[in-house]
Chains A and B, each alone.
Chain A
Amino acid sequence: MTLSPRQWLRAFFGALEALCSRAFTPAWNPLLQLGSIGWFFFWIVAVSGIYLYVFFDTGITRAYDTIETLTHAQPWAGGVMRSLHRYASDGLVAIALTHLLREFALDQMRGKRWFAWITGLPLLVLIYVSGITGYWLVWDVMAQYVAVVTGELLDVLPLFGEPISRNFVNESSLSSRFFTLMSFIHIAAPLLLLLFMWIHIHRHTAARIQPARGLSLLVLGSLLALSIAVPAVSQARADLDMVPATVGLDWFYLPVYPLVQQWGGATAWQLLGGMLLLLGLMPWLPPKSAPPVAKVSLLNCNGCGRCVADCPFGALSLEPRSDWQNYAVEAVVNADRCLSCGLCVGACPTATPFRSASMFTAGIELPQLPLASLREQLKKSCAALSGDDRLVVFACEPAGDLSGELRRNSAVAQMPCIGMLPPSCIDFVFSRRLADGVVIAGCTANGCYQRFGQCWTEERIAGQRDPWLRARVPRERIALSWAVDLRAFRSGLAALPPLRLSGRDTGKPGLLLAGPRWPMPVRAVGMALLLGVLAGVTAVFATEPAWRQLEPQEAVMRLSIRHATATKIECKPLTPRQMADLKPNMRRPVDCPRERWPVYVELERGGELLYRGTHPPSGLWNDGAATVFRTFRVPAGPQSIVVRMRDSGRESGFDQVRSGTIDLEPGQNFVIEFRSGKGFIWEDMS
């Protein structure tokens, strides 16, 4: 049997989840609460960010200085806060991507589940925008790298009148206001992120946005330990006159940046856009099949609202009555949100198998699995059981296919989610003496595929959520199983002693499997190992491996031109006659067509042509300045250069030429600029 990539991924997550459940216990299993850990990281980043902002000063030199002071003058506060800020943001990226992969693996974004998936995509973008602008603010060499490459990336888009890369060619072209803009974006993007996080969970009733408290403490503790062991520090101060040959990169945030340099901004955009588009289309890609949605039977619905309270996806509401009955409201299913999990059926007070065969329809039912047929099936398969250790196993479908052999004298009834089981069905088994014990099996402890199946079932049995399981049902004859996998379930079931009345009823059902877990010392080691590995990975990839953008004996040459050429046609005065022919509001004494000449430029180095190109003027009417911004990696050392430009209507020859000999240091950022009236200028090396 061959597995699709999704099935491989699913198997991988399943194994990892089982491992984590053993180490962390299901309640603390981080894989089952990725979203809420994401929220937790967000709050850590927000709180530490507010602290850092108090001390931060915008400005080309001040930015770097204030952060250095903060890091080294108060390592116990500012330093730790800064490290937390960095590592928690890295954690946020890691968590968000894992969350996305897991939802993909479990196929939880298909069809009607599109909403959380689609609203998750802007979250990814906003996390990256927040992180990248944050690195900018430090203004070390990585910030410089980020600034320059972001410039290249953005300049591909037809957004800006002139290349924003020109801001970063040297210190004089960079304004301190730019840092104000960056810190504004660095605050605005996370606020938008928070808004989208709120929208993201909108369709999940009672969405979990806090991880289990113990897990939160563990995560915070690991982050603190990491911050103290490997404090986040700045790299060398940014210097726009030099291009650092190697830069330590945060690979959580910047994996695309080296690609931009290698393949160019346009390719990078196509790659990113293509990926986002593919992700965005995923919910609707085939094969897409949705089972029929829950159906309300008005004859059996008095509008009690229990199904509305229990729906995990907000697919039910109470609306004014549409029939003749004397009730105010009725339950209405929103077919666009209903995932056919059946949790509403388990909540309905009329869903009791004690009803007469002819009238047995609950107020709300799944058309593909009516309770009446479930009951008939159950009766039939129980009739085949014998002895005094007969077992009924109620299980959900995601728990696995149980139709094969099960060790015991048992009858199996499966449904989309264990939360669909009305508690009265358990009562029914004992009342009608169909079996001696009942096993209730769900998919994963604390990780219900339909969110609340396990939770609602436990609460209904405990009399904490409607409908209550009848008080006199002997709880000692019920066993719950929230196994981590099918194998664990089978072996747990095989080892289960007969469920008999013992007379020592504790009032609670037995736990067959809460998901097996290791003994405490093993678990502690497991947790420490896992968190340690995660922290180590975070620390390493936050700066390593360093990215080499220049060979040791290379320098960078940039050609930066912004030039408004002469207009193509000279202004000429209009005769009175010509003026009279114009409409009154269009009359003018001089006719000035605005279109300008393009710029043609050539750059030669050591007698070889390095670049040649024609650049049209900007603007809708071709009346703006033409801009040229090109970057070249060149060998360091003495060399001759010639730059020529044609900016008029002449057919051949050049209007501006400058040649000279320069001596480039390794890593130097050598800029050739053009200014009207001054011609080509560069730093004089003589």
Chain B
Amino acid sequence: MNLIAWREEFTIGLPDVDHEHRELIAMINALHESLGPDADAAQIVEALGEIHARIAAHFALEEREMRQLKYDSIAEHKDDHERLLDDILDIIDTVESPAAYDPEALGERLSRWFSDHFRTHDLRLHRWLAGRH
């Protein structure tokens, strides 16, 4: 079962950004599939590293578009991006130390991580974009 299912309300109205959202969800779901009691920690770290890079690039693109559109809450949104990126690195750090590693909790954390940002900052951007037209 997918960890995160794509929902229409995730669409924010910028084609590039929406495309990347779908890709990222797919990546996280793929990682979740591979998580299990016998999962290889090194592989998970690598997969998380890739996710981190993709999300960093995704945020960079989203920030560029927000700047171009002169989005009013760009500073808050950007701060949340940085917080999220640091979070993934924290997750990577925990996976690397076997004592703290728990696949269940990791899946939970990833899912919450993504959905929270969607529900708050991206939703606000979506509404702001809709309000402009």
A295 within 8 A of partner (CB):
no
The reply to whether A350 and B89 form a contact with Cβ atoms under 8 Å apart is no
Task: State which of A35-43, A271-279, A354-362, A632-640 sits at the interface with chain B.
Answer: A354-362
Q: Report the minimum CB–CB distance from B126 to chain A (whole Å).
A: 18
Contact among A354, A466, A467, A468 for B49, CB-based, below 8 A: A354
B74 within 8 A of partner (CB):
no
Query: Which secondary structure dominates chain B's binding surface?
Result: helix
Q: Report the minimum CB–CB distance from A356 to chain B (whole Å).
A: 3
> For residue A611, which residues in chain B have a CB less than 8 angstroms away from its CB?
none
A349 within 8 A of partner (CB):
yes
Contact A350/B49 with A327-B16, A427-B89 known, Cβ cut-off 8 Å: no
> For residue A304, which residues in chain B have a CB less than 8 angstroms away from its CB?
57, 60-61, 63-64
Give the complex CA separation of A472 and B57 in angstroms.
20
Interface residue ranges of A286-305 to B (CB < 8 Å): 300, 302-305
Q: Report the minimum CB–CB distance from B8 to chain A (whole Å).
A: 18
Give the complex CA separation of A466 and B57 in angstroms.
11
Residue in A328, A354, A358 whose Cβ sees the most chain B Cβ within 10 Å: A354
The reply to whether B49 and A355 form a contact with Cβ atoms under 8 Å apart is yes
The reply to whether A356 and B93 form a contact with Cβ atoms under 8 Å apart is no
Q: Which residue of B lies closest to A432 (CB)?
A: B96
The reply to whether B61 and A468 form a contact with Cβ atoms under 8 Å apart is no
The reply to whether A303 and B61 form a contact with Cβ atoms under 8 Å apart is yes
The reply to whether A363 and B82 form a contact with Cβ atoms under 8 Å apart is no
Query: Which secondary structure dominates chain A's binding surface?
Result: loop
B15 within 8 A of partner (CB):
yes
B46 within 8 A of partner (CB):
yes
> For residue A569, which residues in chain B have a CB less than 8 angstroms away from its CB?
none
B80 within 8 A of partner (CB):
no
The reply to whether B15 and A326 form a contact with Cβ atoms under 8 Å apart is yes
Q: Which residue of B lies closest to A348 (CB)?
A: B57
The reply to whether A303 and B86 form a contact with Cβ atoms under 8 Å apart is no
B59 within 8 A of partner (CB):
yes
Contact among B48, B61, B63, B86 for A470, CB-based, below 8 A: B86
Interface residues on A, range: 20 to 34
B92 within 8 A of partner (CB):
yes
> For residue B52, which residues in chain A have a CB less than 8 angstroms away from its CB?
352, 354-355
Contact A349/B86 with A302-B16, A356-B46, A356-B50 known, Cβ cut-off 8 Å: no
A573 within 8 A of partner (CB):
no
The reply to whether A349 and B57 form a contact with Cβ atoms under 8 Å apart is yes
Q: Which residue of A lies closest to B55 (CB)?
A: A349
A431 within 8 A of partner (CB):
yes
B19 within 8 A of partner (CB):
yes
The reply to whether B46 and A357 form a contact with Cβ atoms under 8 Å apart is yes
> For residue B16, which residues in chain A have a CB less than 8 angstroms away from its CB?
302-303, 326-328
**Could you name 14 residue pairs across A and B whose Cβ atoms are closer than 8 Å?**
A304-B64, A305-B64, A326-B19, A327-B19, A327-B61, A349-B56, A352-B53, A355-B52, A356-B50, A359-B50, A432-B96, A467-B56, A467-B60, A472-B90
Chain B positions within 8 Å of A, measured between CB atoms, are: 15-16, 19-20, 45-50, 52-54, 56-61, 63-64, 82-83, 85-86, 89-90, 92-93, 96
